[in-house]
Amino acid sequence: MLKSLRDSGVTHYRTGYYRYDKGKSRLDQVRQFAEDAKRLAALNQQVGIVGVYQNHAGDQYLGNVIWDLAMLMERIDPAALGVALDLRHLRAEIGVSWRAMIDLIQPHVVTVFAKNATWTNEGKPQLVNVPLAEGMADGAMFRTIWKKIAHPAPLSVHVEYLGQNPLAVGETDAMVAACRRDVAVLRSWTQSDGK
């Protein structure tokens, strides 16, 4: 399958997630996952394609707090298996320490997933997906990582705030408009004075 992707011009693909078993040591699990990741990286290198592992919020996911993902990737060439740094999930889990976590994971980052969220406190704290310009991730955060990774690099814009269900008839225009707005925000973030 990976060879077919490569032969079709695909250069990067997103891997699945490693999920923690809460009844076992997290450090031991990271070590086990790292052995699996090394084998996947070797296969990717042999095929000539780059796998990307996305950091994700939620205590069941390896990569939710970044340090565990850095441990996983420690001895892996990012040209074979790298990190898709998701701005939304990074800010949701890390809060104000995002710069330290970017410094830690930066050598392994091969792409950025641009999306955003904010916390609401209606009844109980809840994370809500919002347009790129409206959430906790901002231009400074994006530029901090974007200027440190090798280019050209893929960049993925997600509009999850519109929902994750398939589009109904007539919703295409709203999706295209949302994508255009978020891409415009992203372009402004690439500028040194973009917020």
Distance, in Å, from the CA atom of 18 to the CA atom of 55, rounded to the nearest integer, reads 10
pTM for the predicted model, two decimal places: 0.91
On the question of pLDDT at 192 being above 70, the answer is no
HEC-encoded secondary structure of the chain: CHHHHHHCCCCEEECCCCECCCCCCHHHHHHHHHHHHHHHHHHHHHHCCEEEEECCCCCCECCCCCHHHHHHHCCCCCCCEEEEEEHHHHHHHHHHHHHHHHHHHHHHEEEEEECEEEEECCCCCEEEEECHHHCCCCHHHHHHHHCCCCCCCCEEECCHHHCCCCCCCCCHHHHHHHHHHHHHHHHHHHCCCCC
Strand order in the sheet with 81-86: 12-14, 50-54, 81-86, 109-114, 155-157
| 53 vs 151, higher pLDDT | 53
According to the model, what pLDDT value does residue 56 have?
96
The residues, ordered by sequence, that sit 6+ positions from 17 with a Cβ below 8 Å of its Cβ are 53, 54, 56, 61, 62, 63
| Domains of the chain as residue ranges with CATH | 2-190 (3.20.20.150)
Which residue, among 58, 48, 62, has the nearest Cα to 17 in the 3D structure? 62
Ranking 19-28, 103-112, 139-148 by mean pLDDT, the lowest is 139-148
pLDDT digits (tens, 9 = 90+) for 92-107: 999 899 999 999 999 9
On the question of pLDDT at 63 being above 70, the answer is yes
According to the model, what pLDDT value does residue 122 have?
79
pLDDT, mean over the chain: 93
pLDDT digits (tens, 9 = 90+) for 133-176: 999 999 999 999 998 888 788 899 999 998 877 878 788 888 99
On the question of pLDDT at 195 being above 80, the answer is no
